[in-house]
Amino acid sequence: MSTTVDTTPAGHVAEAVRRHGGGGPRRIAESAGLVVTHGEGPYLITDSGRRLLDFATAMGVAAIGHANPVWSEAVGRQAQRLAACVLHTPEHADYLERLAAVLPFGVDRVALYSGGAEAVEVAVRLAQSVTGRRDLISFSSGFHGKTTGVRFSGGRFPEERVNLGVDWVHTLPYPRCEQHDSLSYPSCEEEGAAAIAALELCAADLHDVAAVIVEPVLGTAGNRPPQRRFLAGLRALCDAHGWLLIVDESITGFGRLGRTFAVDWFDVRPDILVLGKAMGGGYPLSGVAAPSSLWDASLFAQPSATSSSYGANPLACAAGIAVLDVLAAPGFDDQVKRTARRLADGIVALEAASPFVARNRGLGMMLGFDLVDPATAELAGSDLCLRLFRRCLNAGILIVGDVPEVRLNPPLILTEHGADEAISALQDALAG
Ligand SMILES: Cc1ncc(COP(=O)(O)O)c(C=O)c1O
């Protein structure tokens, strides 16, 4: 085994993270082998001055781009005044009022936290508390976080599930849309009939279901939209059986699909909405939105029952308000839609031209495709993925693509010109 020590500054950073960090380092960071010192709008800048279009956006967190002046000034100003406080603050009140104005009708009371999994935990406890029931239905290719309780929703970590004897989380297949690409998806008419039938069977078997948790578009599983009418069917089924519908908008929320929330795009009423990622623009901020009727009927109606050390701190609220300010800028939505359309056109053309790209898909600024091995037409193996991922980096773009199920999460501030630059980089990198 080679014992060569990488003495470059990038090597030193990676080594320090590996040596002192708890758990394994992030896979994508190891795959890239780069060190980023700062960001500018849609770009990340490495320690050697390379500029990369950031289509990872920290898995959707950096939706308003890097060093956004509206956000950095608001956070800087607030940091100089007050960062943490357990008493009421004007920032908390302002933020809740601003959120209430953009949240879907009815789910307008929000508890604030600092991480997505934490918010999912609260959403599940809220559903269990209100219904007096215990079970949770989730989808096998969904992802909702890695904390003790929620890591069992979705199909991950099966070995731990066995060890801990978790019997209250049930996972069913998610009805992915396989028939439409990123341009034609809005015309998908499929209803997810097989998934609805599986849920009906569950309803016959399980009598203690509190809620169903769903990602409106699968993120971690490769930015895959569902069969388009599935969510409406799921809503109807929840109504029929008295289950609460928890929609996890950690990735889709705050404009990624070209509407403020995915439930707006799919025209579906949630009972509980999980918010996170883009919400804080990089400041750790998440939330659970639900109607008064649920909050008031739950154990969380009592003071402090669901507060957390970082939840609703004024710095987080200032960051959240700044994100809403950016999203509310005149013409912002239209710009997002135009850029998303340009990207969708681009990845359809990319698939036609590249032997490595198949099954492009997605919606709004949540796009994806599969990397395939042209020799076998199967999903690309890890060596090929790594090679193609690094070719993308060399061409000037970071994608979530050191795995075969590629995700493109561009910043929402990307312009059409930026979209052209991205597609051209992908075309260079993924040519035969
Ligand atoms: C849909 C969804 N929900 C929840 C989470 C967990 O969020 P966090 O990593 O902030 O705990 C993620 C993380 O990727 C996610 O994609």
* Per-residue confidence (pLDDT) for residue 10, from 0 to 100: 80
Residue 256: is its pLDDT beyond 50?
yes
| 404 token code pair | 């075969």
Residue 123: is its pLDDT beyond 80?
yes
Residue nearest to atom 3 of ligand 1 (CA): 144
At 418 the three-state DSSP class reads helix
Query: How far apart, in Å, are the Cα atoms of 324 and each of 104, 265, 321, 365?
Result: 15, 18, 5, 17
**Given the structure tokens 């978790």, which residue do they identify?**
166
* The ligand 1 atom nearest the CA atom of 249: 1
Ligand 1 within 6 A of 115 CB?
A: yes
pLDDT band at 1 (very low <50, low <70, confident <90, very high): very low
Bridge-based pairing state of the strands 169-172 and 135-139? parallel
Length of the chain: 432
Assess contact for 318 and 301: CB atoms under 8 A.
no
Ligand 1: residue of 26, 114, 124, 143 to mutate (most ligand atoms within 8 A of CB) is 143
Residue 129: is its pLDDT beyond 70?
yes
Å from CA of 203 to ligand 1 middle: 27
pTM comes to 0.96
Ligand 1: residue of 144, 252, 400 to mutate (most ligand atoms within 8 A of CB) is 144
* The ligand 1 atom nearest the CA atom of 59: 14
Å from CA of 248 to ligand 1 middle: 9
What tens digit of pLDDT does each residue of 361-418 get?
999 999 999 999 999 999 999 999 999 999 999 999 999 999 999 999 999 999 999 9
Exposed/middle/buried for residue 59 (C-beta within 10 Å: 0-12, 13-18, 19+): middle
**Given the structure tokens 């091995």, which residue do they identify?**
373
* Per-residue confidence (pLDDT) for residue 150, from 0 to 100: 78
Residue 146: is its pLDDT beyond 50?
yes
Stretch 314-330: mean pLDDT, rounded?
A: 98
As a whole number of angstroms, the distance between CA 63 and CA 48 comes to: 24
Residue 165: is its pLDDT beyond 90?
no
The string of DSSP codes covering 285-303 is -EEEEE-HHHHHHSGGGST
What tens digit of pLDDT does each residue of 270-289 get?
999 999 999 999 999 999 99
Residue 2: is its pLDDT beyond 80?
no
Ligand 1 within 6 A of 215 CB?
A: yes
| 37 token code pair | 């010192």
Stretch 288-292: mean pLDDT, rounded?
A: 97
As a whole number of angstroms, the distance between CA 48 and CA 52 comes to: 12
Domains and CATH numbers, the chain: 9-68+331-429 (3.90.1150.10), 82-327 (3.40.640.10)
Residue 365 neighbours by CB under 8 Å, 6+ apart: 255, 256, 257, 258, 336, 339, 340, 343, 409, 410, 412, 414
Ligand 1 within 6 A of 251 CB?
A: yes
At 209 the three-state DSSP class reads strand
Residue nearest to atom 7 of ligand 1 (CA): 116
Ligand 1 within 6 A of 247 CB?
A: no
* Per-residue confidence (pLDDT) for residue 167, from 0 to 100: 86
Amino acid at 189: E
| 198 token code pair | 């599986």
At 108 the three-state DSSP class reads coil
Q: Half-sphere exposure of residue 265, counting CA atoms within 13 Å on the CB side?
A: 26
* Per-residue confidence (pLDDT) for residue 161, from 0 to 100: 72
Kindly tell me the sign of the dihedral angle through the C-alpha atoms of 336, 337, 342, 343.
positive
pLDDT band at 4 (very low <50, low <70, confident <90, very high): low
* Per-residue confidence (pLDDT) for residue 319, from 0 to 100: 98
Stretch 61-78: mean pLDDT, rounded?
A: 98
Residue 158: is its pLDDT beyond 80?
no
* Per-residue confidence (pLDDT) for residue 147, from 0 to 100: 85
Assess contact for 272 and 294: CB atoms under 8 A.
yes
As a whole number of angstroms, the distance between CA 203 and CA 233 comes to: 14
Q: Of 232, 225, 233, 218, give the one whose Cα is nearest residue 177.
A: 225
- The H or E element that residue 58 is part of is helix 57-60
% of the chain beyond a pLDDT of 90 = 88
Ligand 1 within 6 A of 177 CB?
A: no
As a whole number of angstroms, the distance between CA 69 and CA 53 comes to: 18
Å from CA of 30 to ligand 1 middle: 20
Residues forming beta bridges with residue 110, ordered by sequence position: 289
% of the chain beyond a pLDDT of 70 = 99
| 427 token code pair | 């075309």
Residue 164: is its pLDDT beyond 80?
no
Ligand 1: residue of 277, 366, 409 to mutate (most ligand atoms within 8 A of CB) is 277
Å from CA of 250 to ligand 1 middle: 6
Ligand 1 within 6 A of 276 CB?
A: yes
What tens digit of pLDDT does each residue of 196-229 get?
999 999 999 999 999 999 999 999 999 999 999 9
Assess contact for 389 and 402: CB atoms under 8 A.
yes
* The ligand 1 atom nearest the CA atom of 145: 6
* Per-residue confidence (pLDDT) for residue 3, from 0 to 100: 53
